[in-house]
Amino acid sequence: MAITAADVNKLRQQTGAGMMDCKKALEESNGDFEAAVDYLRKKGAKVAANRQDRDAKEGVVLAKTAADKKSAVVISVNCETDFVAKNADFIQFAESVANIALTKQPASIDALKALPYNNDITVGDKFMEQVGKIGEKIDIGYYSVISAEQVVGYIHPGNRLAVALGFNKAVTDEVAKNLAMQAAAMAPVAIDKDDVDAATIERELNIARETTRAEGKPEDMVEKIAQGKINKFYKESTLLNQEYFIDNKMTVRQYLQSVEKDLTVSAFKRFSLS
């Protein structure tokens, strides 16, 4: 059957695929619109399969906060090239996925991909469409959700780093912004000392032991010096123990206590594209 320009445009509007791809999909599907959509998804799956060994290290990192300020998500939608990452359509797609994640707050990336993207397809199917349209490996590289009495999200300019912070009680916009910028700039690995995972502590201790030995220190001093270096690690790499970036005469913990005695950070997620 004859494929009209209107048919091609309708398919293009729904899928975002190129005009020639849409025309070919309709031709291969004998004008069946739904079959043409499936054809384009299958094309995306084939492209994805062919690019499994590619690195998708570029992309868009977003933080989204719920209207009630009780929860937030941090998500990375990854692609292969900086050119695609800066494309307005790709950023809009990442925003739409982030909004779905915030609304539904699924437990995992796989659960997010299984959610409806619209009335017709799932989030996972939409990713296949995007792969077919763009021709690059595209995937969700990171996803996490936090909840607290009050949360704040922060996206660093350039969409390569985002932070979500939760507080144990309501704070002013100024406090929320200051702490989010602290977390973005100073890259803490955890909220406090007790929140650092055991593997990270052991890795830092091993590095400290080896560097201490390499400096020629006596073996009976190695462990003591390593413990001292771990304490320095806590001060530099845990949020509440870091120097407050606006006033380095106090720690972040002391800054929060100066605002309100028992104010603290209760939840924290940070992700950055390397």
CA–CA distance, 93 with 60 (Å, rounded to integer): 10
pLDDT band at 219 (very low <50, low <70, confident <90, very high): confident
What DSSP character marks residue 39?
A: H
**Model confidence at 47: pLDDT above 70:** no
pLDDT band at 1 (very low <50, low <70, confident <90, very high): low
CA–CA distance, 60 with 12 (Å, rounded to integer): 24
What are the residue ranges of helices labelled H in the chain? 5-15, 19-28, 33-50, 82-85, 88-104, 109-113, 123-134, 173-186, 198-214, 219-237, 252-259
Domains 5-50 and 58-167 share a fold: no
Question: What's the pLDDT at 35?
Answer: 84
Question: Domain 5-50, what fold?
Answer: Helicase, Ruva Protein; domain 3 (1.10.8)
Residues 145 and 176: beta-carbon distance below 8 Å = no
Question: What's the pLDDT at 40?
Answer: 75
Domain regions of the chain by residue span: 5-50, 58-167
Question: What's the pLDDT at 51?
Answer: 60
CA distances from 222 to 10, 13, 149, 203 (A): 70, 65, 43, 15
**Homologous superfamily assigned to 58-167:** Elongation factor Ts, dimerisation domain (3.30.479.20)
CA–CA distance, 33 with 188 (Å, rounded to integer): 50
Tokens of 90: 């790709």
**pLDDT one-digit tens code per residue, 158-203:** 999 999 999 999 999 999 999 999 999 999 999 999 999 999 999 9
Burial of 57 (0-12, 13-18, 19+ CB in 10 A): middle
CA–CA distance, 142 with 273 (Å, rounded to integer): 10
Residues 25 and 17: beta-carbon distance below 8 Å = yes
The crossing angle, in degrees rounded to 10, of helices 19-28 and 33-50 is 120
Q: How many CB atoms lie within 10 A of CB 66?
A: 16
Q: Share the mean pLDDT of the chain.
A: 89
**Cα 98 from chain centroid?**
9
With a pLDDT cut of 70, the percent of the chain lying above it is 95
Question: What's the pLDDT at 185?
Answer: 94
Residues 174 and 80: beta-carbon distance below 8 Å = no
